[in-house]
Amino acid sequence: MSKREPATAAAASATPFLWGVSTSSYQIEGAAAEDGKGPSIWDTYCRQPGRITDNDTGDVACDHYHRYVEDVALMKTLGVGAYRFSVSWPRVLPKGRGAANEPGLAFYDRLIDKLLDDGIEPWLCLYHWDLPQALDDLGGWANRDCAFWFADYAALIARRYGDRVKRFATFNESSVFTLFGFVMGGQAPGIADRAMLHRAIHHVNLGHGEAIDVLRAHVRDASLGIVHNMQPCRPATPAPEDVKAAALFDAYWNGAFADPQILGAYPALLADLIEPYVQAGDIAKICRPIDWFGLNHYSPHYMKAWDGNPLGVGWGPAPDNIKRTSMGWPIEADAFRDTLLLLHERYKLPIYVLENGTANPDVVDDKDEVNDTPRIDFLKAYTDALAEARAKGADVRGYFIWSLLDNFEWGSGYSQRFGIVYVDYATGKRIPKASFRWYANLIKATSPRRVAAAS
């Protein structure tokens, strides 16, 4: 039985608002080959010269595997009520299936226990892109069996941690890792094949539904969801081919996962393309009741027709007058507000914002401080937009900053810093930035974990 959260506006206003921070395994843990961990597709991908800026890897990253106590202490100082992290599948199942790796499992025991000791609720995401290499060798997400390997992995996690962890997300940003990994480039496994994309989309959806059932069966009082990256997809120009490209990209980016999972149907533009991989009963397996919608949001996309990849879609320029982050992403808080309102209408689930934040060219000054004013401006604008969406009725229950720490930013390696804590990669030293203090004050001012002012 789903423990769906109360969906009325009155229930929402009585529920304490949850402030949190998010990270992911490959981006922070390091210890890439330690204590029996198997390789993931990202370990492999990073070793292919030229894939990652400066040929960086996640081998050491923030060394969170060894420094998690210090990192949880930072969260306690910050005052967050929750921490969203991901489990590295190959750390606990080095070959992706079969024998579990006890030292890997024990690491997450220690992390979870420390969080609970410090009054921080663990939000566990099963998949933040680090697929075991051994499974990719068997076809990875393009192989239908991967959905069932994922469900078995979910069962292991549920049995091990379900006594202490109640909040589980199946996948982080399925559209991102499938689109970039299978057609657009820039992510593992680094394939350019549209048919493989369609298979992968369907198998990830199937894995989600299977895992939801497994988690529900094994974890008493489980509160389950999935994390989608939802961004408006706008045509970069009014040219009909760009309008068409933006609509197609919107179907893949915003619709290919949430629609079948919550509404029980693929978007019309994709249905025929995915149909060859759909077997009888699949849609019912995919469309399982979930308790909340996890939203990651950064900026709108401006798309154009482009023949440089198998999708025929690429990024066009955003309008000139829009400010950008150091990733080049447009800063448009109104789009965040509108996305929250739209999701509230469309999927009718409580929403938790599980990632929002910005990269900034941060530097440590001679007082050993990092004054990341542009990040504070960004976070102010986006949390104001969130308050506006709530005032207009969107049932938003929490907000998690991406990210606690500067970390391995995928294709950009360590060249982009998203943290509210600066990480000196040479020494591992952590320096809370000005934005950390800003967030701590916001949390305190909204009386532990409540958005009094905003509601």
Candidates 108, 402, 414, 439: give the one binding ligand BGC (CB under 6 A). Answer: 402
Enclosing H/E stretch for 455: none
Q: Given the complex with ligand BGC, which of 381 and 454 has the nearer CB atom?
A: 381
Does residue 210 touch ligand BGC according to CB under 6 A?
A: no
**Residue 63 or 173 with smaller CB distance to ligand BGC:** 173
Q: Is the CB of 168 or the CB of 402 nearer to ligand BGC?
A: 402
Q: Which of 29, 121, 210, 355 is the catalytic position?
A: 355
Is residue 130 at the binding interface for ligand BGC, with CB under 6 A as the rule?
no
Report, in Å, the least distance between residue 354 CB and ligand BGC. Answer: 9
Residue number of the CB closest to ligand BGC reads 173
275 an active-site residue?
A: no
Among 121, 173, 332, 372, binds ligand BGC (CB under 6 A): 173
Which amino acid is it at 402?
W
Least spacing, CB of residue 109 vs ligand BGC, in Å: 24
Tell me the closest approach of the beta carbon of residue 358 to ligand BGC, in angstroms.
Answer: 9
- Tell me if 409 contacts ligand BGC by CB under 6 A: yes
Which span sits near ligand BGC by CB under 6 A: 61-69, 71-79, 169-177, 447-455? Answer: 169-177
Residue selected from 19, 24, 127, 178 as contacting ligand BGC according to rule CB under 6 A:
24
Q: Is the peptide bond preceding residue 300 cis, with omega within 30 degrees of 0? A: no
Does 299 participate in binding ligand BGC (rule CB under 6 A)?
no
CB of 402 to ligand BGC, least distance (A): 5
- Residue pair 23/84 in contact by the 8 Å Cβ criterion: yes
Stretch that binds ligand BGC, among 28-36, 45-53, 171-179, 343-351 (CB under 6 A): 171-179
Residue 216 CB coordination number (10 Å): 20
CB-wise, 68 or 329, nearer to ligand BGC?
329
- Per-position b or e across 8-27, b if 16+ CB within 10 A of its CB: eeeebeeeebbbbbbbbbbb
Tell me: does residue 229 bind ligand BGC (CB under 6 A). yes
Cα gap 55→378, rounded to integer Å: 29
In the three-class reduction of DSSP (H, G, I as helix; E, B as strand; rest coil), residue 327 is classed as coil
**Tell me, what DSSP letter sits at residue 55?**
G
Among 176, 351, 394, 443, binds ligand BGC (CB under 6 A): 176
Options 115-123, 146-154, 157-165, 170-178: segment touching ligand BGC (CB under 6 A): 170-178
Contact flag: residue 296 with ligand BGC (CB under 6 A): yes
Catalytic residue among 29, 121, 173, 210: 173
Give me 209's structure tokens. Answer: 């539904």
Single-letter residue type at 292: W
Q: Which of 410, 451, 446, 418 is nearest to 45 (CA)?
A: 410
In whole angstroms, what is the distance from residue 240 CA to residue 350 CA?
36
Known catalytic membership, residue 241: no
Task: Extract the tokens encoding 203.
Answer: 């198998």
**Separation between Cα atoms, residue 448 and residue 455, nearest integer Å:** 14
Cα separation, 244 vs 367, whole angstroms: 52
Neighbouring CB atoms inside 10 A of 248's CB total 19
Does residue number 355 form part of the binding site for ligand BGC (CB under 6 A)? yes
For residue 231, CA distances in Å to 252, 303, 337 come to: 11, 12, 11
Q: Is 56 in the site for ligand BGC (CB under 6 A)?
A: no
Q: Are strands 233-235 and 301-305 parallel, antiparallel or unpaired?
A: parallel
Where along the sequence are the contacts to ligand BGC (CB under 6 A)? Answer: 24, 27, 172-173, 176, 229, 296, 355, 402, 409, 418
Residue positions annotated with a catalytic role:
173, 355
